[in-house]
Amino acid sequence: MAKGIEFRDAHFPGRVPIDAYGNGGFRFADMSHRGSILCLPSGIYGWEPVTPPVPGLGDIGKIMEEADQIEILLVGTGTDLRRLPEDLRAVLREHRISADPMSTGAAVRTYNVLLAEDRAVAAALIAVD
């Protein structure tokens, strides 16, 4: 019996630097993605947080799946620095993850530096125009 089209969550399977951001998306590995992204040890994933530009507990499931491989989580909160909710910070602390919110531009630059240093870094990046 023939199978129909199978839809899967697309992701880039690897850790690569972010080459550019803006215009509502990101460029990496000679590709572009429109919308927000998660940069995790297993790769880069499209991400649609429920309450942008500040993620909540419901937005970090994929991050928690890889928590044992993450020491630093950079959270790009758009054009402005915004404080993360205390319940989110508490859950990340329980998993020994240091969460650092900053503008998306600063988060991209910091992610690239820490990635080049082969640190256990991840990033949750809200797209900016």
pLDDT in tens, the chain (129 residues): 555 554 446 678 889 999 999 999 999 999 999 999 999 999 999 999 998 889 999 999 999 999 999 999 999 999 999 999 999 999 999 999 999 999 999 999 999 999 999 999 999 999 999
Residue 72 lies in a domain: yes
Q: Decide: pTM greater than 0.85.
A: yes
- Return the pLDDT at 12: 86
Both structure tokens of 52: 């942008």
Name the one residue in this structure whose structure tokens are 């991050």.
Answer: 63
Domain range for residue 121? Answer: 11-125
User: Does 22 reside within a domain?
Assistant: yes
Q: Which contiguous run of DSSP H or E holds residue 27?
A: strand 25-28
Residue 9 has a pLDDT of 61
User: What string of DSSP letters covers 73-100?
Assistant: EEEE-TTS--PPPHHHHHHHHHTT-EEE
Q: Is residue 1 part of a domain?
A: no
pLDDT in the model for residue 52: 87
Q: How many domains does the chain have?
A: 1
CB 125 within 8 A of CB 39: yes
Distance between CA atoms of residues 102 and 6, nearest Å: 37
Output the domain CATH number for residue 93. 3.40.1230.10
- In a domain? residue 69: yes
Q: Is 60 within the bounds of a domain?
A: yes
Q: Is residue 79 part of a domain?
A: yes
The pLDDT value recorded for residue 75 is 98
Residue 5 in domain: no
Cα 87 from Cα 115, distance rounded (Å):
27
